[in-house]
């Protein structure tokens, strides 16, 4: 099956710094990628949808200047958490869609801890 990787898998950073998370589709081209945030024992909350070569579409309540998303190629999307605060600590998961009607393939997630 299709594989999506995320890097890093775990990151600890100090408050006020920025952190970049990479999401790659390894064996398919993903015109659409999604970024989710998952709080403990809760469902996935969609943060934004990104299409290759265009600006990301953010969900209501998600600060686009804080969570910068870049989808520069058909296999790579990045999420940068700028000026991180402890409340940004969470599990961030990306996914990529293979084709218009296909299922989404998920990355293994990135555990962000802001101290």
Partner 1 sequence: AQSVAQPEDQVNVAEGNPLTVKCTYSVSGNPYLFWYVQYPNRGLQFLLKYITGDNLVKGSYGFEAEFNKSQTSFHLKKPSALVSDSALYFCAVRDTFRGYQKVTFGIGTKLQVIP
> What does the buried/exposed string (b/e) look like for 53-76 if buried means 16 or more CB atoms within 10 Å of the residue's CB?
eeebebeeebeeeebbbebeeebb
Q: Which is nearer to partner 1, 15 or 113 (CB)?
A: 113
CA angle in degrees (0–180, nearest 5) for 112-114-115: 145
Residue 63 interacting with partner 1 (CB under 8 A): no
Question: In what helix (H) or strand (E) does residue 110 lie, and over which residues does it extend?
Answer: strand 110-114
Residue 105 interacting with partner 1 (CB under 8 A): yes
Rounded distance between C-alpha atoms, residue 76 and residue 97, angstroms: 12
Q: Which is nearer to partner 1, 44 or 82 (CB)?
A: 44
Task: Please identify which residue in 20, 49, 66, 89 interacts with partner 1, judged by CB under 8 A.
Answer: 49
CB of 87 to partner 1, least distance (A): 20
Residue 50 interacting with partner 1 (CB under 8 A): no
Give φ, ψ of 86 to 5 degrees: -55, -30
Task: Please identify which residue in 55, 111, 113, 115 interacts with partner 1, judged by CB under 8 A.
Answer: 111
Judged by the rule CB under 8 A, the positions of this chain that interact with partner 1 are 1, 4, 6, 32, 34, 42-44, 46, 49, 91, 93, 95, 101, 103-109, 111
């Amino acid at each position: 099956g299709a594989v999506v990787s995320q890097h890093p898998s775990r990151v600890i950073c100090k408050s006020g710094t920025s952190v970049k998370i990479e999401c790659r589709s390894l064996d398919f081209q993903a015109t659409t990628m999604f970024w989710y945030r998952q709080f403990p024992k809760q469902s996935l909350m969609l943060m934004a949808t990104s299409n290759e070569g265009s600006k990301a579409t953010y969900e209501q309540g998600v600060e686009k200047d804080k969570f910068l998303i870049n989808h520069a190629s058909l296999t790579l999307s990045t999420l940068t958490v700028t000026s991180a605060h402890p409340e940004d600590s969470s599990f961030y998961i990306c996914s990529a869609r293979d084709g218009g009607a296909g299922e989404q393939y998920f990355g293994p997630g990135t555990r962000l801890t802001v101290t």
